[in-house]
Structure 1
Amino acid sequence: MARSSSGFVAGLTAAAVVVVGFLGHEAQANAPRSLSGRPGPTATHAAGASKAPRDERHAAALPDGSGTGERVVYSLDDDRVWLVGADGTVQNTFGVSPGNVDPAPGTYAVASRSKSITGTDGVPVEHVVRFTSADGVAVGFSAAVHGSLPTPDPALKTGGIRESRTDGETMWMFATIGQKVVVIR
């Protein structure tokens, strides 16, 4: 009898170690960079603090220096997204309505997705594609279920970058887990 109870205790101990390790990892992953010891996002030369060059004649053209390969490019200054294929051609581009918390320019990867949730502003959203956090708030693309592109309430910290429902569905199909997201000025 002693052997079976010691095996049971060993199993419980192993399970507890796994749970504590997982919770520790989650706590570190969600801690502010200043406390977590993690470096900031990997910035490419193109995604640095300076504004990427624009084609003055074609405002919706993909900015030079916005990375290479298949990626989502998000311009903080232009409130625009480009979905770029592996061959470097723009597959789609559209305007967005950002929240009041911006990610730092740099290169990220899609970290999580949700088909439908309630946003930090209390609005039901769908096709949520998250790629980072800033100022303690998750940052990602989403579409309001009722289709609006609201002006963020300054009293709330919101990292949702809102798209139309059609654009949200397009983003959902393109930006799967691990997809590169390049944020530029």
Structure 2
Amino acid sequence: MGPYVKGRRRERHVAKMGPGVVVTGLTLGALAVVSLLAFQANGAQDRAGGAKPVASTTTSSGPAASATPSASATPTVPPLPATSGSGTRVVYSIGSHYVWLVDPKKSPQVAPGFAVTPGSVEPAPGSYSVYSRTPSTTGTDGRQIEHVVRFAQQNGVVFGFSAAVDGATPTADSNAKTGGIRSGRPEGQLLWDFAPNGTKVVVVA
């Protein structure tokens, strides 16, 4: 009876423990399945959300709405006045304070104009000729000037083109009568090379 009883006790023990183990295993399996389904559901939701277009946050004032680049700040050169005469000449406009160098033998005939700063007195409109040139001297304002090209004298005022050695083109002193027409140094060199004595200078209004 001893072995039989011992064996029965083991069977009852296994029978008692067996269902619990099975239930535990089923519970763990069910939890694993639920977790897997939840994970897959979250992944699907993430993928679906990722496919949605993202609204742009760029405002109208951002880089995408930048204005068209502005035009060049380079000043526009006025055209050569129609009343400037003919032939090889230096043309000076009192109204626009520009100078043009015109040579019909060259192409283009008209060199690009350049701005100048007049003295306190302007020459009268008309046709003149270069009568005197000085490589360098002192201007009426005390500055060192170069490439002086004189073309007229009126009421004791000498009119001519020149350039300050320091490159300055200050506004003339209205308390003094001066006829110096100042340009930049590169432009002064161009005019000096272009206008020897006898060159026509046409002054227009």
TM range (shorter): 0.5 to 0.7
Q: Which has the larger radius of gyration?
A: 2
Give the TM-score normalised by the residue count of structure 2. 0.60
Contact 2:130 2:200 in 1 (8 A): yes
Match in the other structure for 2:84: 66
Higher relative contact order (CA 8 A, sep 6+): 1
- Is residue 150 of structure 2 the alignment partner of residue 130 of structure 1? yes
Match in the other structure for 2:164: 144
Give the TM-score normalised by the residue count of structure 1. 0.66
Distance (Å, rounded) in 2 between the aligned partners of 1:110 and 1:86: 19
Distance (Å, rounded) in 2 between the aligned partners of 1:92 and 1:171: 12
Alignment of 1:80-95 (within 5 A): 80-87=98-105, 89-95=109-115
- Structure 1 unpaired stretches of 5+: 1-57
**2:200 partner letter:** K
Distance (Å, rounded) in 1 between the aligned partners of 2:77 and 2:147: 26
Structure holding more helix per residue: 2
SS in 1 for 2:113: strand
SS in 2 for 1:173: helix
Contact 2:77 2:114 in 1 (8 A): no
Match in the other structure for 2:41: none
SS in 2 for 1:91: coil
Contact 1:101 1:135 in 2 (8 A): no
Structure holding more strand per residue: 1
**1:122 partner letter:** G
**2:135 partner letter:** K
Distance (Å, rounded) in 1 between the aligned partners of 2:161 and 2:192: 9
Distance (Å, rounded) in 2 between the aligned partners of 1:172 and 1:84: 14
Match in the other structure for 2:95: 77
- Structure 2 unpaired stretches of 5+: 1-75
Distance apart, 1:111 and its partner CA: 0.5
CA RMSD, 1 decimal: 1.3
Question: Residues 122-156 of structure 1: CA distance to partner in whole angstroms, max 9, x if unpaired?
Answer: 11100000000123111000000110001111121
SS in 1 for 2:188: helix
Contact 1:121 1:156 in 2 (8 A): no
Runs of 4+ with >6 A deviation = none
Match in the other structure for 1:178: 198
SS in 2 for 1:166: helix
**1:133 partner letter:** Q
Distance apart, 1:171 and its partner CA: 0.4
